[in-house]
Amino acid sequence: MTNHQEQAKKIFLSYAEQYDTKNVLIFHKIEHTFRVAELSERFARALDMNAEDACCAWFFGLLHDIGRFEQARRFGTFVDSQSVDHAELGGDILFREGLIERFPGEGLPEDWLSMAEPVIRLHNKLNLPETLDGRTRRFAEILRDADKTDIFRVIAGIPFEERIGSSRANFTETGEASPEVMACVAEHRCVPGKLRRSHFEGRIAHCCMAFELAFEVSRRTVKEEGWLRMLLAETDTSGKQIWTDRETEQLRILRKEIEKAWGEPL
């Protein structure tokens, strides 16, 4: 890590530490942030970007979820549909309230500031707008891939209450995926938030993010980390089937479709 990055990390932490870092939601979000920053830099380098651009990708990763802290404080949940769009909230805190001015931008390319706002505000949107210029799009795609890559770890490795915060009652415990969700699987695209009603549909929806990884390096990283395979598992460690027969069949279809889209086995 360069001195500039150390400096930016310190500024980020001094902001985050205004919040309750003992709260598991906040704790996991800080961990996620550093992972996304690191993955973004790694992807940028793999895509042959220069050192300044790779540092810029890292920096966008560092800032991408800054709205999560205020979201947790105000609403106690990370479910955007039950609270606020956290990317827009982060965008407002950085660019309207001026938090971005605390970051000197040293070691970053000249155009970092003009790209920062769209890249951060768009990181959680279903699609990127056609109008986005090529360079900003590249940074947005890197961040979105890095975010998705780490989300597989978060979903597979952290209990629901610790990563979401809201009560499970908002989702039904069981329930096979609806035809609308399975249509997303068949069409190899992400599932809109409003279609997720059960925990199983949530699982399918998270795995569908694999369809929209933009880069080969992201797919390779996801494969190496193994979290996606865990999310698609049919049995637990004791060999007991996790889902109903119908749900297991839907998971199997999803796995096949991801392998078809990637052109290789998971």
Sites of contact with Fe ion (CB under 5 A): 65, 124
Q: How far is the CB of 194 from Fe ion (least distance, A)?
A: 18
Q: How far is the CB of 65 from Fe ion (least distance, A)?
A: 4
Q: How far is the CB of 76 from Fe ion (least distance, A)?
A: 17
Q: Identify whether the C-beta of residue 126 lies closer than 8 Å to the C-beta of residue 187.
A: no
Nearer to Fe ion, 41 or 65 (CB): 65
Nearer to Fe ion, 65 or 257 (CB): 65
Q: How far is the CB of 68 from Fe ion (least distance, A)?
A: 7
The residue number whose beta carbon is nearest to Fe ion equals 65
Nearer to Fe ion, 148 or 255 (CB): 148
Nearer to Fe ion, 124 or 136 (CB): 124
Q: How far is the CB of 205 from Fe ion (least distance, A)?
A: 15
Nearer to Fe ion, 124 or 250 (CB): 124
3-state secondary structure the chain: CCHHHHHHHHHHHHHHCCCCCCCHHHHHHHHHHHHHHHHHHHHHHHCCCCHHHHHHHHHHHHHCCCHHHHHHHHHCCCCHHHCCCHHHHHHHHHHHCCHHHHCCCCCCCCCHHHHHHHHHHCCCCCCCCCCCCHHHHHHHHHHHHHHHHHHHHHHHHCCHHHHCCCCHHHCECCCCCCHHHHHHHHCCCCCCHHHCCEHHHHHHHHHHHHHHCCCHHHHHHHHHHCHHHHHCCCECCCCCECCCHHHHHHHHHHHHHHHHHHCCCC
Nearer to Fe ion, 91 or 107 (CB): 91
Q: How far is the CB of 71 from Fe ion (least distance, A)?
A: 10
